[in-house]
Amino acid sequence: QVQLVESGGGSVQPGGSLRLSCAASRSITSINLMGWYRQAPGKQRELVARIINGGSAQYADSVNGRFTISTDNAKNTVYLQMNSLKPEDTAVYYCFADLLLRRYWGQGTQVTVSS
């Protein structure tokens, strides 16, 4: 069992940056996989990034080179650093963690990129 609490969303101008945080209620060292999805109105859910315990990360083509996923084991937190944000990045971002054959979800945090 793990609870995930997201923070860091907000509104920024194109080209700006945000860092999303996903704090877990337990050590993330035992979590096999963590990552981020996003859901924009009228669009399908998109896997943005994921990171395997040990450091291997993957990114969607749409964010590759702009976003970075990382973990801080001491803080039980996974981050999504988002740079060079574009309007099409606007969505609700959900973190997830896979533990004991179940997928757990954060509550979602809104990211809005507009002029």
The parts of the chain modelled with pLDDT lower than 50 are: none
Sequence-ordered list of residues with C-beta below 8 angstroms from that of 71, at least 6 positions apart, any chain:
28, 34, 51, 55, 77, 78, 79
Q: Which residues pair with 18 in a beta bridge?
A: 82
pLDDT at 54: 77
| Residue in this structure with the two tokens 């004991």, named with its chain if needed | 100
pLDDT at 80: 98
